[in-house]
Amino acid sequence: MSRQATLAAHSGRVETRFVDEAQLHAKGGDGGAGAVSFRREAHVDRGGPDGGNGGRGGDVWLEASSKLSSLLTFRDHPHRRAGHGGHGSGGKRHGRDGEDLVVAVPQGTVVRTLEGEVQADLALPGERWLAAKGGRGGRGNASFLSNRRRAPSFAEQGEAGQERWYDLELKLMADVALVGFPNAGKSTLISTVSAAKPRIADYPFTTLEPHLGVVRLQPGSSKGQLASRGDVDMVIADIPGLIEGAAQGKGLGHSFLRHIERARVLAILLDLDPNAPVSPRRQQEVLLQELGAHRPELLDRPRLVVGTKADLIGTGPGPDEPAVQLSAVTGMGVDRFLWALADMVSAARQAATSPIQREPVVHRPEPEGISVSRRPDGVWMLSGREVERAVSLNDLTDGQALDYIQRRLRRLGVERALRRAGAVHGDLVKVGELELTYEPDR
């Protein structure tokens, strides 16, 4: 089954699938251009430059939200763009800044580059991460006024906003994950104890997507009694069935193992049906083996082993059966099961043991230096934010602009970098759209 959302027809209706993998294209807003303007007033002789600066482009932020449970919105519409900055104008009027764009993603979303490098793990509600930074606004000609340039006739163009593609991966946030073989009764159980309504049928792989259910227990009433409001709340996740080899990609469980990683407690459900193809003991061995193969630390997570479909067997657990047994159909043992889970979840919360296994996120500052490379045709390429900004002027044919560029590049150390790289007199050097001839100072 494709992990992207699919449209499948069931009984003549179209059903939208759960989506836990998607892509995002984030584009920061472009900065506005600076203005070239001079004062034009009858009573002012030789009015000076008064061109305003352009506004900065807006940023694209990702924010974790507990109100979303799927990446479905990114399936057909992956593009997100922030607002552009306004252009400067005369009278030293600066352009407005572009509006930031805050994109809501489900709590538990992991952001990776297309090469697989983790950029952010938005596991908690309200966490934010900068996906694409807006471009800086260009400076107007008033900003270039100096004793050397009394009437600058050039301004800067706005900087382009960052543009990035990302892979998004959702890992469900739940207190309890129901883990078991296909057709072990997980969907029936979660539909019995919560308002979740998964599709249920008597054949393997009925559950093709995870389901979350909220269970509320009320202390003080008869133990195990469910109530509409209470003091003990748990979020239980129904994970699609696992089979032997799931950690290596076999069956439908491979794509869903990630949803088990964040659960505080694991409920290992063993099918006690005498006609089940695998014995309860072997089921437990396989399930623990697959969990450990996926992530070894899952074996250290608190877990409760329970047998399901207890109404199909005789009284009392057999030698290969777990001590805790239940039947979601008759309700036998369900209360005991829920309160045992509630105790384990409460203990995990009080111990402040977070189920969130964060990947280390390394914040890398944008390189501000100069990068020098040479193309096969012999042209030297200069890159770097400050270098590219130095040549982003509106009129590269203006003598004052070219003089500014030469002085600015010299202060940035471009000549020294080219000399160290091996450039010689007469070599072509390209910075952005500008081509220069390298002439080292004597």
Q: Tens digits of per-residue pLDDT, 182-230?
A: 877 777 887 777 654 444 444 444 445 667 777 777 665 444 444 333 4
List the domains of the chain with CATH numbers: 19-170 (2.70.210.12), 176-350 (3.40.50.300), 371-437 (3.30.300.350)
Q: What are phi and psi of 27, to 5 degrees?
A: -130, 115
Per-residue model confidence (pLDDT) at position 357? 47
SS3 380: strand
Per-residue model confidence (pLDDT) at position 364? 46
pLDDT over threshold 60, residue 174:
yes
Pick the most confident of 44-48, 247-251, 287-291. 287-291
Mean pLDDT of the chain: 79
Q: Which run of H or E residues covers position 389? A: helix 385-390
Q: By C-alpha distance, which of 53, 32, 162, 157 is closest to 101?
A: 162
Arithmetic mean of pLDDT, 171-180: 83
Higher pLDDT, 28 or 45: 28
pLDDT over threshold 70, residue 279:
yes
Q: By C-alpha distance, which of 156, 157, 15, 38 is closest to 90?
A: 38
Q: By C-alpha distance, which of 152, 136, 133, 141 is closest to 92?
A: 141
Place of tokens 């301004």: 155
Please report, rounded to a whole number, the percentage of residues in the chain having pLDDT higher than 90. Answer: 23
39-43, 64-68, 202-206, 373-377: range with lowest mean pLDDT: 202-206
Q: Where are the alpha helices (DSSP H) in 250-295?
A: 280-294
Arithmetic mean of pLDDT, 141-147: 89
Q: Give the confidence band of 84 by pLDDT, cuts at 50, 70, 90.
A: very high
Q: Give the confidence band of 20 by pLDDT, cuts at 50, 70, 90.
A: confident
Q: Tens digits of per-residue pLDDT, 247-276?
A: 444 444 456 677 788 888 999 989 888 888
Per-residue model confidence (pLDDT) at position 274? 84
Q: By C-alpha distance, which of 306, 368, 360 is closest to 333?
A: 306
Q: Tens digits of per-residue pLDDT, 330-344?
A: 888 888 888 888 888
Arithmetic mean of pLDDT, 127-131: 93
Give the C-alpha separation, 292 to 283, whole Å.
14
Residue 233 tokens, joined: 């709340």
Per-residue model confidence (pLDDT) at position 219? 62
pLDDT over threshold 70, residue 441:
no
Query: Cβ neighbours of residue 151 under 8 Å, at least 6 residues apart?
Result: 38, 48, 49
Q: By C-alpha distance, which of 294, 259, 265 is closest to 176?
A: 265
Arithmetic mean of pLDDT, 285-295: 86
Residue 281 tokens, joined: 């003991």
Instruction: Report CA torsion sign: 178, 253, 64, 358.
Output: positive
How distant, in Å, are the alpha carbons of 214, 249, 274, 308, 368 from that of 188? 15, 26, 18, 10, 58
Ordered strands of the 60-65 beta sheet: 101-106, 60-65, 128-132
Q: By C-alpha distance, which of 157, 159, 165 is closest to 134?
A: 159
Per-residue model confidence (pLDDT) at position 201? 40
Arithmetic mean of pLDDT, 11-21: 52
Q: Give the confidence band of 316 by pLDDT, cuts at 50, 70, 90.
A: low
Read off the DSSP letter of residue 315.
S
Q: Tens digits of per-residue pLDDT, 377-410?
A: 989 998 888 888 888 877 778 888 888 888 888 8
Pick the most confident of 66-75, 295-304, 342-351, 352-361. 295-304
Q: Where are the alpha helices (DSSP H) in 104-211?
A: 186-193
Per-residue model confidence (pLDDT) at position 44? 66
Per-residue model confidence (pLDDT) at position 234? 80
Q: What are phi and psi of 187, to 5 degrees?
A: -65, -40
pTM of the model: 0.69
Residue 159 tokens, joined: 């900087």
